[in-house]
Amino acid sequence: MDDFEPLPLIRREEDTVFSSDNEDSEDCLNYKDLRRIGLSLIIGSFLVFIVSVNSLFKTWKYIISPLKEEFEDGVHYVRLFKSFEIIDDYVLKLWGIYIMIWFWAGFSWLGLKLFRHSKGVQMD
């Protein structure tokens, strides 16, 4: 029992980790898929930003206002105006819900922290 060595918790095979065989092995990641997923995330976040800013500042009204003077009856303008108002309502409601969920999470976390650190009422 003079040369007592503890059992290794993590086995390392250093000769295979740093060998040149590892470079030639097939990658488990498909970089074309990563590029496609990354581009879709960037495009999606850009669209969410554009729709949110346009809904918050009501810029749709200024974008479609030339349609009011272009046609005599203004059917296209009224149809677009109603649809953009519906989009604005949903976007503003969703952002409000999102913000209130974060407030709720923050207050709940604060309550749990205060409850955890409180000693409680100790009556003798």
Q: Do the domain assignments include residue 23?
A: no
Task: Evaluate whether residue 112 is within a structural domain.
Answer: yes
Residue 96 structural domain: 29-116
| Structure confidence at residue 43 (pLDDT) | 93
From residue 121, alpha-carbon distances to 7, 49, 115, 116 in Å are 49, 49, 12, 13
Say what the pTM is: 0.52
The answer to whether residue 98 is domain-embedded is yes
Report which of residues 91 and 122 the model is more confident about.
91
